[in-house]
A and B are shown apart, each in its own frame.
Chain A
Amino acid sequence: MKFGVVRFPGSCDEVDALEAARRVGDAVLLWHADHDLQDVDAVIVPGGFSYGDYLRAGAIARFAPVMEEVADFARGGGLVLGICNGFQVLCEAGLLPGALLPNTSLKFVFRQVALEVVDADTPFTNACQPGERLSVPVKHTTGRYFSPEPVHVVLRYAPGENPNGSQDDIAGVCNDAGNVFGLMPHPEHAVDPLTGSTDGLKIFESLRAQVDDRVHA
């Protein structure tokens, strides 16, 4: 299982995502200016402040050369995981529905939050049970999810845990085809008991299980 983690100018959590992915498989960095996905099985678009969040979070990163390849990969059914800024990039790129808006509080919020697994039947959550609670940190200023159309909700903030005013407490959604998933919380920061919870590991494990299944199918 080989993960590819995109690195834009201004990405911050790409190394964290790389290290988290390496607990479960191989992982390489995909440089923003390259047109080469290096044959990875899944692409992770990581957290951070790509291009300084200039104009709008993710608005400039979505036009990076590597994103053309990611879009092709996604259209072909490839597995794409967008975390925080990555979620913002995928929405800007039209690979996921909706948009992320400034937190209702207008402030950056860091908090360990409880998530509810709404759909345990996706390539990103197959290691979870429906309704399972995951403890994962959030850290963002622009995490309020908005979509005028109905969306495929995968994760919600548990009651009382919504840190940013997202509609319907939505924390993570996937596209209709179910192969592209974006979430504001940071699973890569919930993989080591020494630094927090390990619930985030399940997302990486789900991806590996998905890829293993495909290989053996």
Chain B
Amino acid sequence: MRARVLVRPKQGILDPQGQAVERALPALGFSGVANVHVGRLIELDVDDPSQLPEMCERLLANPLVEDYEIVEENGR
């Protein structure tokens, strides 16, 4: 089945990429934008979705500085 892992910087860690995007959007004329964070998306086909958390802990994210969210194709 198809899974998506969203990886984002942990709350409280300086995210200069997010800040840069947050500054750039108003410059293009978009107002009302706040709290921007930039992370990574990993998409994969997996036979056994129960392995996903361990994949995230060991490789896909760095748990010291990143949070991850697993989204499976059926929307769970």
A and B in direct contact, judged by CB atoms within 8 A:
yes
Q: Which residues of the other chain, A, contact B40 by a CB distance below 8 angstroms?
A: 55
Partner of A146, one of B13, B16, B20, B59: B13
In the assembled complex, the Cα of A173 lies from the Cα of B60 at a distance in Å of: 25
The reply to whether A105 and B59 contact each other, CB–CB distance below 8 Å, is no
Q: Which residues of the other chain, A, contact B13 by a CB distance below 8 angstroms?
A: 101, 146
The reply to whether A92 and B16 contact each other, CB–CB distance below 8 Å, is no
The reply to whether A105 and B62 contact each other, CB–CB distance below 8 Å, is no
Chain B count of residues within 8 A CB distance of the other chain: 12
Given contacts A55-B59, A55-B60, contact A99 B16 (CB under 8 A): no
Secondary structure of the A contact surface, majority rule = loop
Partner of A102, one of B17, B59, B60, B64: B17
Chain A count of residues within 8 A CB distance of the other chain: 18
In the assembled complex, the Cα of A92 lies from the Cα of B62 at a distance in Å of: 8
What 1/0 flags go to A81-123 for Cβ under 8 Å of B? 0000000000010000011011111100000000000000000
- Contacting residues of chain A (50-76) with chain B, CB-CB under 8 angstroms: 55-56, 59-60, 63
In the assembled complex, the Cα of A100 lies from the Cα of B40 at a distance in Å of: 16
Q: Is B65 close to A, CB under 8 A?
A: yes
Q: From residue B34, how far is it (CB to closest CB) to chain A in Å?
A: 20
In the assembled complex, the Cα of A165 lies from the Cα of B17 at a distance in Å of: 14
In the assembled complex, the Cα of A106 lies from the Cα of B19 at a distance in Å of: 11
Interface centre among A59, A63, A101, A144, by most chain B C-beta atoms within 10 angstroms, is: A101
In the assembled complex, the Cα of A105 lies from the Cα of B16 at a distance in Å of: 7
Q: From residue A94, how far is it (CB to closest CB) to chain B in Å?
A: 9
Q: Which residues of the other chain, A, contact B65 by a CB distance below 8 angstroms?
A: 99, 101, 146
Q: Which residues of the other chain, A, contact B60 by a CB distance below 8 angstroms?
A: 55
The reply to whether A104 and B16 contact each other, CB–CB distance below 8 Å, is yes
Q: Which residues of the other chain, A, contact B16 by a CB distance below 8 angstroms?
A: 102-106, 165
Q: From residue A53, how far is it (CB to closest CB) to chain B in Å?
A: 13
- In order of increasing CB-CB distance, the 7 nearest A-B pairs are A99-B65, A99-B64, A104-B16, A106-B16, A99-B62, A56-B62, A106-B20
- 29 intermolecular pairs with C-beta atoms under 8 Å apart: A55-B40, A55-B59, A55-B60, A56-B62, A59-B59, A60-B59, A63-B59, A92-B62, A98-B64, A99-B62, A99-B64, A99-B65, A101-B9, A101-B13, A101-B14, A101-B65, A102-B16, A102-B17, A103-B16, A104-B14, A104-B16, A105-B16, A106-B16, A106-B17, A106-B20, A146-B13, A148-B64, A165-B14, A165-B16
